[in-house]
Structure 1
Amino acid sequence: MSRVSHILAPLPVNPHDPAAILPDLEAAIAGQTSVLPLPQGDITRSTVLRNTQRAGEPIDDAIALVVATSGSTGTPKGAQLSPLNVVASADATHQALGGPGQWLLAMPGHHIAGIQVLIRSLVAGVDPLCLDLSAGFDVSAFARAAHVLGRTGDRAYTALTPLQLAKAMDTLEGIEALALFDAVLIGGAPLNPQLRVSAEKLGITLRATYGASETAGGCVYDGMALPGTRVRVVDGRIRLGGPTIAHGYRNLPGHAAFSEPGWFITSDGGFIENGHLNVTGRLDNVIDSGGLKLHPEVLEKELLMVPGVAEACVVGVPHPRLGQAIVAAYTGAASLMDILVALEDAEVPRWQVPKDLKRVEELPLTGPGKIDRRAVRELFSAASS
């Protein structure tokens, strides 16, 4: 990719009216421009993205979008997506869900999950319905919009984070609204197994997604690759291939994640069993406690199975003897004793049982539905200092 004829244009996304960027997105996937979606109103984040992704500077005209990662482990990386990347993703999603339909945007329009809701709408030729997210996710507004979609007679879809799903399922109007959709995509973080079981009993169709900005959004649904997507696991690390894979990073050319042409080498560990991808968690989050290694997501899954635990985050903190001690923060009504008894009943190895458990009102986030592990570590560091 050596052509340079576009200038990367900043594209602020108004949380009051995210659909206003649809003409710009349409021009981008038509190859007429290259855009960088930005969070309007978040001056700090917007400035960081403009600077790190070199907004206003030349870019290869084969790039439609530069979509920033959450930056949870450092400087945001900018995935360079072509028109083929994003359209192939939209087509594969509709094929997996049973056909195009009308989408409800309930996530920020500058993140890949929100951007893809808008692009799927463009590809389907059906205007999306968009929530005003300026004050956060409002269940009543979501329910009203869902009923509007339900009256159109078209297939109806939406995409939510696990936190949004949990909030909606806390109310009767939210449950009724969720049941109106032909499918609700859940991504950005692992889905609470208890929520999934409850949703199934209530007639809510959930599809747990796995993907990233680098793959133009979710490319594996419920452990199965979407049409066109290829999945390999090499030395315990997940690799994803296919037409949705980004053309490297805007601000990190030659990055090792794209060292194999046509593939994205993720930072996630996992394994394939009976054709089903099981994601164990980010490799850079692995906790080494006394020489024993733990993917925190494995223990988090056990914690989320405990009645009364709504969210959980497991991290390692410095320990003079073990190197790292396993600790966990959680939200919900469960008591410490409830959790310890449940972990014992589940036969969780004793060394994996958290050395410290902390119940909090809410877990810190870094992006939609993504828990900020560094901030969680600081909760325990502050307590010990």
Structure 2
Amino acid sequence: MNFATHVDAIARSAPDRLAMTDHTREVTYAELAGETNAFANALESLGVEAGDRVALYLPNSIGFMTAYLGAMKRGAIPFPINMRFQGEEIQYVLEDSGAVAAVTHGQFEDVLAGLDVPSLEHLIVADGEQGHSYRELVGAADTEYDAYPRKEDELAELMYTSGTTGRPKGVKHTHRNLGTNARGLVEAMGWSKDTTTLTVCPLFHVSGLNVSTTPLLTVGAENHFLPEWDPDAALATMAEHDATYAFFIPTMVIDLLERDVSNYDLSSLELIGVGGSPMPKERIETVEETFGVTLLEGYGMTETTPLAAINRPGQDVRKAGSIGPPATEVVDVRIENPETGEAVGTDEKGELLWHGDTVTPGYFRMPEKNEEAFVRREGKRWLRSGDIARMDEDGHLFVEDRIDDMIITGGENVYPREIEDVIYELDGVVEVAVIGTPHDRLGETVTAVVVGDGLSADDVEEHCRGRLTDYKVPRRIEFVEALPKTSTRKIDKVSLRDDF
């Protein structure tokens, strides 16, 4: 089935139920279904065909979702563009995708209008002056539309990676990927029509689009969008709308802890989900006490739509620092030695591999990348994650680090997260990132970059020496005002390595 028709099903059963809000308006499920139908009709009138790619260069908003779902109803392939991309980066993803249409807001229209992309025939702008007017197109279109039929294995959306280590890659998600991801998350989290969520993680990333948005559409839940990260606005929005759930990147949660949470009525908030990067273990208990919630860490990749592993409400055993058991309803997991390809044993470290119905069929028009990313083991096709992890005797997964972030110092392999967790134990540490920096004799030296108050390098080194093997103790400790972040608020270790 066409995934976008989930909205129509809810519109028929509960037309007046609030679907979503942003800073400019709100829509019911009936209104959302009608506007997405109108946009599908508008695209068809412009000559956009099933299978054509439609770019979305939009912040979190109702307009993003109406364009996304409307394009999908038309049978086209919507794909969001990272809002931090500019000029050449946008040109690249538009050309790589072969986009025939792009949707944006007047605030950003000049960015797209100035590009020369041979395939791009239509620029659709909300509240702007160039291209087609979104409001006029939708206002003139019929609000009834028979969604283009799609098979489960046909392409539903493209999600481009952030491109921090090379050109962005278009990750293919099928209608089966989206449906399986949604069912898996709804079942794991116990979401229903009574769930109310905040979505502040960007919709151009799977954390915003396919964690707290597309799954919740399938059960008729209520969603509130913020266009950008603002800790105070996030707290105020959750309080105003009695949010029961919110998903954050760990750095966002750390930002929230810096605010006076007692100023906001968050009594409805039951669960906070975190993912995208490891949550510092020392902060988990603080978050749960501060917000009066259960914090659930999970794991996913753009390439897994993202559901792969998750801690669940009411789980018998939760372990600090664990991403939870694998989501075996939707995926299988394998942990292997990245050099030999041999499976490792319990509590042994190796690379995570994934197989299942949330795993992408591959990268768009990148056969050489697919050759690198997928391997065959025992008759199955497995996705290599690039993450080093271990599974304990209870079946809980612990991500140790990225293979690319591993430091080799004096011939020893060092995983930064172990050191970061130790440094987070120190009072006064707000954030820390451990990286390898060049060293003439050792190859790399362990370097800690710290955001903190009232600490010295000697304090950090002394604390680490009491808890870590000598070669893991940072030889270089730098203090900064803030750590660089990617567009999804993860700590940007690529930039840090460039800086140091």
Both proteins in one fold, TM over 0.5: yes
1:375 shift after superposition: 1.7
Which has the higher mean CA deviation after the structures are superposed, 186-195 or 261-270? Answer: 261-270
1:109 has 2:230 as partner: no
Helix, strand or coil: the match of 1:86?
helix
Distance in structure 2 (CA, Å) of the matches to 1:244 and 1:48: 27
Listed as ranges, the matches of 1:1-385 within 5 Å are 6-13=51-58, 15=59, 17-27=60-70, 32-40=75-83, 42-44=85-87, 45-56=89-100, 62-100=154-192, 101-116=195-210, 117-133=212-228, 137-150=229-242, 156-173=244-261, 176=264, 180-202=268-290, 203-221=292-310, 222-226=323-327, 227-235=329-337, 236-253=350-367, 254-260=370-376, 262-274=381-393, 275-333=395-453, 334-346=455-467, 348-380=468-500
| TM value normalised by structure 2 | 0.68
Q: CA deviation at 1:43?
A: 2.7
Superposed CA deviations along residues 94-122 of structure 1, whole A, max 9, x for unmatched, are 21112222221111111111111221232
Identify which range, 176-185 or 63-72, moves more after superposition: 176-185
Deviation at 1:30, TM superposition (A): 5.4
Q: Do the aligned partners of residues 174 and 269 (structure 1) sit closer, same or farther apart at CA in structure 2, a change above 3 Å counting?
A: farther
Q: After the TM superposition, which of the residue ranges 67-76 and 179-188 deviates more from structure 2?
A: 179-188
Indicate how the Cα distance of structure 1 residues 214 and 187 shifts in structure 2: closer, same or farther if over 3 A, else same. same
Work out the percentage of aligned pairs sharing the same amino acid.
25
Q: CA deviation at 1:248?
A: 0.2
Distance 2:174 2:465 in 1: 49
**Preserved CA contact (<8 Å) 2:331 2:355:** yes
Q: Contact conserved, 1:328 with 1:356, CA < 8 A, in 2?
A: yes
Between the aligned partners of 2:221 and 2:246, the Cα distance in structure 1 is 14
* Shift of residue 53, structure 1, vs aligned partner: 3.6
Q: What's the CA shift for 1:174?
A: 7.0
Contact kept in structure 2, 1:269 and 1:282, CA below 8 Å = yes
1:282, distance to aligned residue in structure 2 (A): 0.9
Maintained 8 Å contact 1:22/1:118: no
Distance 1:224 1:42, change over 3 A: same
TM-fit CA distance, 1:187: 1.4
Q: Report the CA distance shift for 1:207/1:8 in structure 2 as closer, same or farther (over 3 A).
A: same
Q: May I ask how many residue pairs the two structures share in their alignment?
A: 366
Shift of 1:78: 1.4
Does the Cα contact within 8 Å between 1:280 and 1:298 map onto a contact in 2? yes
| Structure 2 segments unaligned to the other structure (5+ residues) | 1-48, 101-118, 121-150, 311-322, 338-349
Q: Does the Cα contact within 8 Å between 2:435 and 2:446 map onto a contact in 1?
A: yes
Partner Cα distance (2:264, 2:325) in 1: 28
CA distance in 1, matches of 2:262, 2:481: 22
Distance 1:132 1:367, change over 3 A: closer
Instruction: Output the amino acid matched with 2:233.
Output: A
Partners of 2:73 and 2:262 lie apart in 1 by 37
Change (3 A) 1:139 1:371: closer
AA in 1 matched with 2:64: I
CA contact (8 A) 2:158 2:173 kept: yes
Once the two structures are superposed, residues 188-218 of structure 1 have per-residue CA deviations (whole angstroms, 9 ceiling, x without a partner) of 2111222201122232221112111000124
Q: 1:228 to 1:31 in 2, by over 3 A?
A: farther
Q: Name the amino acid aligned to 1:167.
A: D
Structure 1: distance between partners of 2:436 and 2:267: 39
Residues 1:106 and 1:146: Cα distance change in structure 2 (over 3 Å): same
Which amino acid in the other structure matches residue 239 of structure 1? L
TM-score (norm 1): 0.87
SS in 2 for 1:225: coil
Over aligned residues, Cα RMSD in angstroms? 2.5
Structure with greater contact order relative to length (CA < 8 Å, sep ≥ 6): 1
Higher Cα Rg: structure 1 or 2? 2
CA–CA distance in 1 between the matches of 2:156 and 2:388? 30
Residue pair 1:237, 1:269 contacting (<8 A) in 2 also: yes
